[in-house]
Structures are given as structure tokens and as C-alpha cells.
Amino acid sequence: MNVIITGASRGIGYELVKLFATDPENKIIAIARNEVNLNKLKKECLEINQESNVIVLPFDLKNIYIPGALLKQNGIEVDSVDVLINNAGIIVNKSFEEINLSDFESVYFTNVFSVARLIQQVIPLMGKNGRSHVVNISSIGGLQGSAKFAGLSVYSSSKAALAVLTECLAEEFKDKNVSFNCLALGAVQTEMLNEAFPGYKSPVSAKQMAEFIFHFASTAQNFMNGKIIPVSLSTP
């Protein structure tokens, strides 16, 4: 499979790349801002499997103006994409009265706009080798009726937008051999969780959640489309 994973330099994305890399037939394109961590990740994958095929692409998805040929401009040639996991995300934790326009722009550019732009680029390559899968990683806080927390209005609302975008694209591309699904994650022990809830300890590790997403991304496209699925053990 050809797999693209964003937010690959830490946390869940980092662990996801390692899981896909265990199969030498997978080509994984790992996208993140932190080039040092990406290179460390590639080295770890080679240690796990010397035949692993991980291509690292340092790029800041906060830049809404993703070039029209992001992969090709960086020397990455792929004829097809089987799985796209939009895992990258950023958070702002401050009271609504303190939030400014740049906070909204920063979070929405990364959590929503860059996802839409990347899908636009990748969708022509999908559905060529059987049913492809776009998995958008949202948050339980982005679901209507879920518990909400002070200070996370920008983040949670951006994740709500991502969930609805998933439903829209599932309908628009339902005849194109591509499934779109969204996982609304609860607390996972990552750096982002610490930014949102300093000192809170989650019962779920990044590796454990990555294992769930790995299996979901690899198989669920054959059973569901346009679903927003809560994946949470705790609140937060």
C-alpha cells in the first residue's frame, strides 16, 4: 500500500508510521514540520524492518497555500494512494476572551484547511488499487453533545468542522471507490493532551491508539463510509 500520514513527527502519527513500516510492501510518506524527528523516525523504522520504505517530507501544514503538487515538487513519485491519514493538528488553550484572529487562523489552517487542500491533491490518486481510505482524526470535543472544556473553543470547533467535512466528502465521492471516515478521539497520552490538560494522565497511550487507527485505516473502508466514530475511554 501507499500510505500518507500527517503529523508524523510525534505521538500517534509517529507510532502509526512505525506500524505501517513493518510491512516492506508499504510505502509510507510521513509529513510533519519537525525534520529532526522525521529523520529519527525513519531510522527507527529501518531498525524495526531493514526493508521498510519510509519517505519523510518536512512541511508545515499550517501553510494553507500547499503547492499544487506537494509530493512531486519534493521528488516523491507515486502512482496511487491507498490510505491518507490526516492526523496533524494543533491546539490553542486560552479563554475565549483572550483569543485573537491569529489563533483562529493558525488552528483552522492546520486542522481544517490543510486537510481539505491535501485531500484535493491526493484524491486523483486514490481508488486505483481497490477501495481507498481517507481517515480524518478529529476529537471527542468536536462532537455535538459531548463534554466541552473552557479554553478549547478554537480547537474543538475546528475538529467539529473536520467531522462535518468528512460527511460531505463521503457523499461527494461515494461513487469514486474512496471511503471517508472520521475518528473522534478522546484523551490519549500525547504532548497535545498535556497542552490541553496539564498533568492529566490518560489510560490510553499513543502506541495503543495508533494500533487501533492502523487496523481501522487498513480495513474499515470496506465496511463503512461517512461515519464519525467516537473512540474514547475517559472524559477528558
Per residue in 4-21, pLDDT tens?
999 999 999 999 999 999
Three-state helix/strand/coil letters over 140-167: HHHCCCCCCCCCCHHHHHHHHHHHHHHH
Q: What is the pLDDT of residue 70?
A: 86
- DSSP character for 105? H
Average pLDDT over the chain reads 95
C-alpha cell at 146: 459531548
Across the beta sheet with 27-32, the strand order is: 53-58, 27-32, 2-6, 83-86, 132-139, 178-185, 228-231
Q: What is the pLDDT of residue 206?
A: 98
- The 10s digit of each residue's pLDDT in 157-209 is 999 999 999 999 999 999 999 999 999 999 999 999 999 999 999 999 999 99
- Residue 68: pLDDT over 70: no
- DSSP character for 176? T
Of the CATH numbers 3.40.50.2300, 3.40.50.720, 3.90.1150.180, 3.30.540.10, which one belongs to the domain with range 2-231?
A: 3.40.50.720
pTM: 0.96
Task: Supply the angle between the helices 35-48 and 11-20 in degrees, to the nearest 10.
Answer: 30
Would you list the domain boundaries of the chain? Answer: 2-231
